[in-house]
C-alpha cells in the first residue's frame, strides 16, 4: 500500500521490506521470549544483543520506554492487538525496577534517575554517567499512553507506578543531568522537553482519574519546564542541545525532542517545538548541514538527504552516522506534512526561510494555502524526507539488520548490532510517513511564564520576555 503522501516507489519498497524485519528484530530483543534476549526477564528490553565492542546487553530506562512507546502506540492505534501481554510484562518489570536500590539512590532518594540495569533486573553498580533524568519522564509518558486504552479502573491501577516518576520529574527537573548520549552533565534540551511533556500529560492524567494530590505541582513545574525550554534557542537558528559541553550545540538531541513532543493538535507551535514550527525547521536545517564532514556525504547537494549522526564533534567509534538519527530527520518532516495537510496551509517565516529556500530557492515569507505554491513546497518537503530514508536504505544490509551506526567513510554497519532503538525509529518513521497521528497529549492552554523557577531552591533561574502561548481545548476526562 502506498503512503498517504504518495512518496517515491523506492522508499515504499524499502519500508515494505524493512518494516516487518524491524518489528521482528525489535521483539526479539525483549525478554523473556525474544530470541536475542537470552536471560532477560519478562518485559525487559535489551539495548542490543552485543556483548563486546560494545557491551550493550543491559536495559536502559530511556531506551525501554521509547521502544514500548512505539509498541503501545501500535496497540492503541489499532495496528497490532497482540501486544497487550508484552506491554503488561513491561509494566510489571518497571514496577520492580523502580524499587531497586542503585548507585543513584532509592526510589525516594533519586534512584529513579539511574540510567541502566542488568537484564536480570538487578542494579548495575559499575561506573557510569549518572543520573540521567529523561528515563522517568519517558516511562511515565509510555504508561500514560497505555492507560488511554484502558477503562477507568484499569487506568487508575497504573497510578502507583506513574506517580513516582512524575514526582521525580517535578522534584529534580531543574538539577544537572547527563544528556541522552550519556556524555555531558548539564541541562539538556531533549531531557527538558520530555520532562515538560510528562508533567503536562501527568497533570491531565491525575485530574482525569481523581489523583489530585500533586496536581498543582505538576501544573506549576510543567509551566516552568516549558519556560526553561525556551532558553535553549540560539538566535543563529537552532536549539543548543546542552547548556555545557564545549560543542556547537547542533545535535540530534533536538530533532528527537521535536518528534517526541509531536502533537498534531498543537499544529506548528514553536513554544513546544512542534515539527512544523519555524524553530524546529530552522534547527533541522542547521543540524543536517553540520554533517557535510562525512565522506559518504561528499557530493550530495544540500537539498538532498544525507547521513546524520549525533553531533559533528562526535568521536565515539570515530563519530559516525546513526540509523536512528537519520530516520529522525525524515520523521520530523513527515510529522510536519501531517499537520500542513490537515490545516491546509504552510507558513514561511524569517526563521524558517533558510530551510525552505534550500528546497525551493525563490520562495518568500508568507502563508501559502492549498494551491500551486503550497503543492510545490509540500512536494519538495516530501521528497526531501524520503531522501533521508533512501540514505538509510542504501546502508541497510541485505538481511535488514540495523546496527547503531554506519561508518562515515563507506557506510559499513558498526558499533552495537541489532540496536533496538534503531528498529523502533524505523517503525515510527514509517508510521509518520503513512500519516498515522499519535494521540494528543497536551490538553489545555498554557502560556510561557515570564520568569522560570524551580521547586524549592532553584538551581537555574532564567528570565524571558516572551509573548507566546499554546491554545487547545479543555481538560480531557
The residues assigned a catalytic role are: 179, 182
Q: Is the peptide bond before 450 cis (omega within 30 degrees of 0)?
A: no
CA 401/CA 412 separation, integer angstroms: 12
Question: 315: Cβ–Cβ under 8 A, 6 or more apart, which residues?
Answer: none
133, 62, 126, 70: which is closest to 94 by C-alpha? Answer: 62
- Distances in Å between the alpha carbon of 416 and those of 46, 180, 419? 12, 17, 6
Q: 3-class SS at 136?
A: helix
Note whether 359 and 380 are within 8 A (CB). yes
Query: CA 466 to CA 451: how far, in whole Å?
Result: 10
Alpha carbon 190 to its chain's center: 8
The answer to whether 341 touches 378, Cβ cutoff 8 Å, is yes
Alpha-carbon distance 436 to 8, whole Å?
18
Q: Is the dihedral of CA 89, 94, 97, 98 positive or negative?
A: negative
Q: Which residue has the cell 538531541?
A: 253
**Across 256-410, where does the E strand assignment appear?**
345-348, 366-369, 405-406
Q: Are 303 and 386 in contact (CB under 8 A)?
A: no
Strands (E), 429-468: 446-447, 451-452, 462-463
Radius of gyration of the chain from its Cα atoms, rounded to whole angstroms: 21
Amino acid at each position: 500500500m502506498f503512503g498517504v503522501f504518495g512518496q517515491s516507489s523506492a522508499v515504499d519498497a524499502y519500508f515494505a521490506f524493512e518494516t516487518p524485519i524491524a518489528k521482528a528484530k525489535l521483539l526479539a530483543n525483549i525478554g523473556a521470549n525474544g530470541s536475542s534476549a537470552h536471560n532477560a526477564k519478562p518485559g525487559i528490553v535489551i539495548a542490543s544483543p552485543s556483548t563486546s565492542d560494545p557491551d550493550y546487553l543491559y536495559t536502559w530506562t530511556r531506551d525501554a520506554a521509547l521502544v514500548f512507546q512505539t509498541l503501545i502506540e501500535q496497540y492503541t492505534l489499532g495496528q497490532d492487538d497482540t501486544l497487550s501481554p508484552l506491554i503488561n510484562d513491561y509494566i510489571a518489570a518497571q514496577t520492580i525496577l523502580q524499587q531497586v536500590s542503585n548507585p543513584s539512590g532509592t526510589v525516594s532518594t533519586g534512584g529513579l534517575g539511574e540510567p541502566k540495569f542488568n537484564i536480570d533486573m538487578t542494579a548495575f553498580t559499575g561506573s557510569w554517567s549518572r543520573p540521567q533524568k529523561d528515563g522517568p519522564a519517558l516511562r511515565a509518558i509510555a504508561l500514560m499512553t497505555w492507560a488511554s486504552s484502558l477503562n477507568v479502573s484499569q487506568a487508575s491501577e497504573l497510578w502507583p507506578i506513574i506517580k513516582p516518576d512524575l514526582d521525580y520529574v517535578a522534584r529534580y527537573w531543574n538539577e544537572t543531568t547527563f544528556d541522552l548520549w550519556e556524555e555531558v552533565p548539564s541541562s539538556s534540551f531533549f531531557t527538558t522537553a520530555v520532562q515538560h511533556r510528562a508533567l503536562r500529560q501527568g497533570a491531565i492524567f491525575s485530574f482525569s482519574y481523581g489523583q489530585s494530590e500533586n496536581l498543582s505541582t505538576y501544573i506549576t513545574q510543567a509551566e516552568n519546564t516549558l519556560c526553561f525550554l525556551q532558553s535553549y534557542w540560539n538566535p543563529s537558528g537552532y536549539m543548543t542541545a546542552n547548556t555545557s559541553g564545549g560543542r556547537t550545540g547542533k545535535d540530534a538531541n533536538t530533532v528527537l525532542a521535536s518528534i517526541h513532543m509531536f502533537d498534531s493538535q498543537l499544529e506548528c507551535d514553536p513554544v513546544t517545538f512542534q515539527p512544523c514550527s519555524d524553530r524546529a525547521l530552522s534547527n533541522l536545517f542547521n543540524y543536517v548541514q553540520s554533517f557535510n564532514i562525512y565522506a559518504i556525504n561528499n557530493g550530495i547537494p544540500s537539498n538532498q538527504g544525507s547521513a546524520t549522526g549525533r553531533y559533528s564533534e562526535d568521536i565515539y567509534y570515530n563519530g559516525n552516522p546513526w540509523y536512528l538519527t537519520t530516520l529522525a530527520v525524515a520523521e520530523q518532516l513527515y510529522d510536519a506534512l501531517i499537520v500542513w495537510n490537515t490545516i491546509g496551509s504552510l507558513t514561511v517565516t524569517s526563521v524558517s526561510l533558510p530551510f525552505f529556500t534550500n528546497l525551493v530557492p525563490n520562495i518568500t515569507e508568507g502563508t501559502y494555502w492549498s494551491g500551486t505554491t503550497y503543492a510545490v513546497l509540500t512536494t519538495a518537503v516530501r521528497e526531501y524526507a524520503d531522501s533521508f530514508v533512501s540514505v538509510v536504505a542504501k546502508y541497510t544490509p541485505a538481511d535488514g539488520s540495523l546496527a547503531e551506526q554506519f561508518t562515515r567513510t563507506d557506510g559499513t554497519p558498526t558499533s552495537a548490532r541489532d540496536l533496538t532503538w534503531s528498529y523502533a525509529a524505523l517503525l515510527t518513521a514509517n508510521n509518520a510517513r503513512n500519516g498515522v497521528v499519535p494521540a494528543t497529549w497536551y490538553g489545555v492552554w498554557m502560556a510561557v511564564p515570564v520568569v522560570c523557577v524551580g521547586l524549592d531552591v532553584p538551581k537555574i533561574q532564567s528570565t524571558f520576555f516572551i509573548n507566546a502561548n499554546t491554545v487547545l481545548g479543555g481538560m480531557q476526562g
